[in-house]
């Protein structure tokens, strides 16, 4: 129940007036109190009013703090690192050095194998070995990328216990093998250069022998092609070019030098003999007339013998 302010003030004023009237009239104090109480009860009954509904004041709810979900605890698959494992290559003289992180997952639950990691490593190394055995050592970087792509795919082992794959794959040649490979490559390049130079030399020799110096004429033509318009010099070099042609074809060289001419000169005895023969020839011509009359000269038979004549040599080289 709720009383208005005016009602309360009115009730208080009435109580005060009744108290003063009772004092003035001389009524006992208890009668004034009873009268006041009765009057107040009547006022309460008359002026009774229903309580007005109070507006419900809702307090703003505190802002709710949304906490992020805790990150899930992710436990990766078990792994094991292998490093510097020698694997074969396509060349029997060289081997790769293999390193990787081997990961695996169990296929059969409750496996009784004591070390599944060893099974996974063995299975992955077997896969890597079958791949590197076909790879050339000269393609080191390419081999590593190819191997990482193939070994990154999970695969079962032979018994089907684990599924293994590899990450951080590294494939390289040991330093000593790498230096040896560089040395062999340098030797191979040098060999190829030598063979090419030798082939070029053989082609040039065959060109000179079979084409340029095949005949003295072809040699002269070759010289004129390289020295156009110099005909007089070419004429002076004909003997030299002929000798070069004969030497190139393994033929005897015909020399007409002064030494050779000197070697062909007759001796003094040969020249004297030639002069005597000429004298006898003159005598025979003088005796030709008696022979025509039927008289034989005693020297007819001797005059019929062939006598070598060296008159040209005498005319050319002999002088008294």
Residue 56 confidence (pLDDT): 57
Residue 278 confidence (pLDDT): 74
Residue 85 confidence (pLDDT): 92
Q: Which residue has the tokens 């007036």?
A: 17
Domain residue ranges of the chain, discontinuous segments joined by +: 5-46, 79-176, 202-264, 268-317
Whole-model pTM?
0.45
Architecture of domain 79-176: 2-Layer Sandwich (3.30)
Residue 313 confidence (pLDDT): 40
Residue 148 confidence (pLDDT): 93
Residue 76 confidence (pLDDT): 76
pLDDT tens, residue order, the chain (320 aa): 444 556 666 766 776 777 677 777 766 666 666 767 766 666 666 655 555 555 655 666 666 666 666 665 556 788 999 999 999 999 888 899 999 999 999 887 666 778 888 999 999 999 999 999 999 888 888 999 999 999 999 999 888 889 999 999 999 988 888 899 899 999 999 999 999 999 999 999 999 999 999 999 999 999 999 988 888 888 888 888 898 888 888 888 765 544 554 555 566 666 777 777 777 776 666 655 554 444 444 444 444 444 444 444 434 433 33
């Amino acid at each position: 129940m709720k009383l208005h302010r005016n009602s309360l003030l009115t009730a208080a004023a009435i109580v005060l007036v009744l108290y003063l009237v009772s004092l003035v009239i001389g009524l006992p104090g208890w009668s004034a109190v009873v009268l006041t109480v009765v009057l107040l009860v009547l006022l309460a009954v008359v002026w009774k009013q229903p309580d007005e509904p109070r507006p419900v004041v809702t307090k703003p709810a505190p802002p709710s703090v949304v906490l992020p979900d805790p990150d899930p605890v992710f436990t990766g698959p078990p792994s094991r690192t292998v490093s510097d494992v020698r694997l074969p290559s396509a060349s029997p003289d060289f081997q790769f050095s293999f390193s990787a992180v081997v990961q695996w997952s169990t296929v059969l639950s409750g496996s009784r194998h004591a070390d599944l990691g060893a099974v996974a490593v063995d299975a992955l190394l077997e896969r890597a070995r079958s791949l590197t055995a076909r790879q050339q050592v000269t393609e080191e970087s390419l081999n590593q990328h190819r191997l990482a792509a193939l070994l990154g795919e999970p695969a079962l082992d032979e018994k089907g216990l684990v599924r293994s794959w590899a990450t951080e794959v590294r494939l390289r040649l040991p330093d000593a093998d790498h230096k040896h490979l560089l040395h062999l490559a340098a030797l191979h390049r040098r060999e190829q250069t030598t063979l090419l130079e030798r082939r070029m030399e053989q082609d040039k020799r065959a060109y000179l022998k079979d084409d340029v110096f095949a005949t003295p004429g072809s040699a002269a033509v070759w010289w004129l092609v390289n020295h156009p318009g110099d005909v007089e010099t070419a004429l002076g070099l004909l003997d030299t070019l002929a000798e070069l042609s004969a030497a190139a074809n393994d033929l005897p060289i015909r020399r007409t030098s002064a030494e050779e001419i000197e070697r062909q000169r007759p001796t003094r005895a040969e020249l004297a003999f030639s002069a005597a023969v000429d004298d006898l020839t003159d005598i025979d011509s003088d005796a030709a007339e008696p022979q025509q009359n039927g008289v034989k000269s005693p020297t007819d038979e001797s005059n019929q013998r062939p006598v070598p004549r060296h008159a040209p040599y005498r005319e050319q080289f002999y002088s008294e």
